[in-house]
Amino acid sequence: MAYLEIGNEAIDFELPNKNGDLIKLSNFKGKKIILYFYPKDNTPGCTLEAQDFKTNLEAFKAKNAVVFGISKDSVKSHCGFSDKLELNFELLSDEEAKVIKEYGIWQLKKNYGKEYFGIVRSTYIIDESFKIKNIYKVSKVAKHVEKILEEL
């Protein structure tokens, strides 16, 4: 499978938010789109990342940007996670990993000598014309959101 690269057009999709409402990515053309993929609700790194996006959301809005978080967690899981953290942006559920695979985020990982497939924490910045402006493979959550804001 060919992965998306900087300069490619973003892949459009529809995924449910925490309320089960379908969100279509192309409805946000004309804005900058921050699309971040994360492994699992209620884990330490994913919680920190979500809180950083929450804290900085007004700064993203000031730069004409919207933020979406995507994982394989269910709508119900996203609802609990979002409500617990009082998130002010959308989490989208991709339980079948269709979009995750299309964006090239479902990859072979290693942990304590075991290999398994999972989500590689990544963030895509999509410009107003729906083109991929940058791709971050995130190894450390700390300062990640600030780096994205600086780039915008």
Residue 130 — left, alpha, or beta (φ > 0 → left; ψ -120 to 50 → alpha)?
left
Using only the alpha carbons of the chain, give its radius of gyration. 14
Residues β-bridged to residue 93 = 71
**Alpha-carbon span 15 to 139, nearest angstrom:** 26
Of 46, 75, 119, 132, which residue is the catalytic one?
A: 46
Q: Which tokens hold the place of 135?
A: 């791709």
Output helix, strand, coil percentages for the chain, rounded to the nearest 5: 30, 30, 40
H or E stretch covering 126: strand 122-126
* 79 classed as catalytic: no
Enter the tokens of residue 93.
């559920």
User: How, if at all, do strands 132-137 and 122-126 pair?
Assistant: antiparallel
Q: Catalytic residues, which ones?
A: 46
